[in-house]
Amino acid sequence: MMTPAFSASALFRRAQDFVLWLMAAAHLIALASLLLVLVSLSPARAEAPACHGSNLLDELKAENPKEYDRVIAEGAKVPNGKGIFWKIEKAGIAPSYLLGTMHVSDPRVLKMPSGAAEAHAAAKTIVVESDEVLDEKKAMAGMLAKPELTMFTDGSSIDKLLSRDDLAVVEAGLKQRGISLSAVSRMKPWMLMAFVSLPACEMARKAQNTDVLDKQIALDAAAAGKPVKGLETFAEQFSTLAAIPIDLHMKSLVETIKLGPKLDNVFETMTDLYVSGDIGLTMPLLKAVAPDGSDDAGYAEFEELVVTRRNHLMAERAAPILAGGGAFIAVGALHLPGKDGLVQLLKDQGFTVTAVN
């Protein structure tokens, strides 16, 4: 059992903004890591430690069975909430496939579900969130030409936007990761989140250049001579983050650092839900004990910008590709479920979309 100071409910409250940020991040963690290399910073590196963490859903069941049952029931109501691999069909068109991914390098996540590798190999076109993953250095060079997306250009800085107590938390959290606040204080908070939102085991894998599934899918396709298309650009993804109120970013940065070693539990829970295909359960689980009042309003705005608008844009851009048939689409799994999820939006376009397993 967890101590009262770090109950499952308390962790969910802190994890809510973090998970939403991770949804928005897509490949930005890799880009931010590259940026730190370009500016000659040296994040702490260690031998690949084992991942540790407990499943917060199991702990919620032990702590509060009634709330656990309510969360499970709510998750069951989420449209298209079960499954990460889907078949897309329409009369007269070769079938296409949609794979939900998780933007981490955990071996459990890198192993595609049954049938996905075969569908990827047979596809004539591969689609990922951004085809710029094929050349991230070139993409980052382009981003550096737009400093307003990654840096404060108005005289603001992280240390000016935080209270004394929160500043101490951020400074200590960055120092623990081998980063001086003074060296990155003018970076936008979503850049710094790349270095505080991952557990040590994931950071170690990234230091060893382990690719996330989306990037590996794109690289394998390019090596096979297949066209790789993107549904978004990195600039658009950064612009989405920039549209989110800065105070919500700052709160997410501070609260994520406060998670400390409990971050492993958040990642373990998300990974377990992904592997089991229970994607629709993720948001009901995290929202179950979320703070009320203004935080609810902040969550709604975050969800609209990060999830709903991007889903509609992805579906719109995927339509002409799917019309040609034989496509294999891989995007973050949390973009799939819900009434505004990609699965439903593709159904609204007249496709038959069914879970493969």
Q: What is the pTM of this model?
A: 0.85
The secondary structure of 75-100 as a DSSP string is HHTSTT-S-SEEEEEETTEEEEEEEE
How many structural domains does the chain have?
A: 1
- Output the pLDDT for position 284: 79
- In angstroms, what CA-CA distances link 223 with 82, 140, 149? 32, 22, 32
Alpha carbon distance 123, 63 (integer Å): 46
Whether the Cβ atoms of residue 86 and residue 333 lie closer than 8 Å to each other:
no
- The pLDDT tens digits along the chain (357 residues) read 333 334 544 455 445 555 555 555 544 554 554 454 444 344 444 455 667 888 888 888 998 899 899 999 999 999 999 999 999 999 999 999 999 998 888 888 899 999 999 999 999 999 999 998 888 777 777 777 788 888 899 999 999 999 999 999 999 998 988 888 988 899 888 888 877 877 778 777 776 777 888 889 999 999 999 999 999 988 888 888 788 888 888 888 888 888 887 788 888 888 899 999 999 988 877 766 444 434 555 667 777 878 899 999 999 999 999 999 999 999 999 899 999 999 999 999 999 999 997
- Output the pLDDT for position 259: 80
- Output the pLDDT for position 292: 43
- Output the pLDDT for position 150: 82
- Output the pLDDT for position 37: 42
Q: Which domain holds residue 210?
A: 4-355
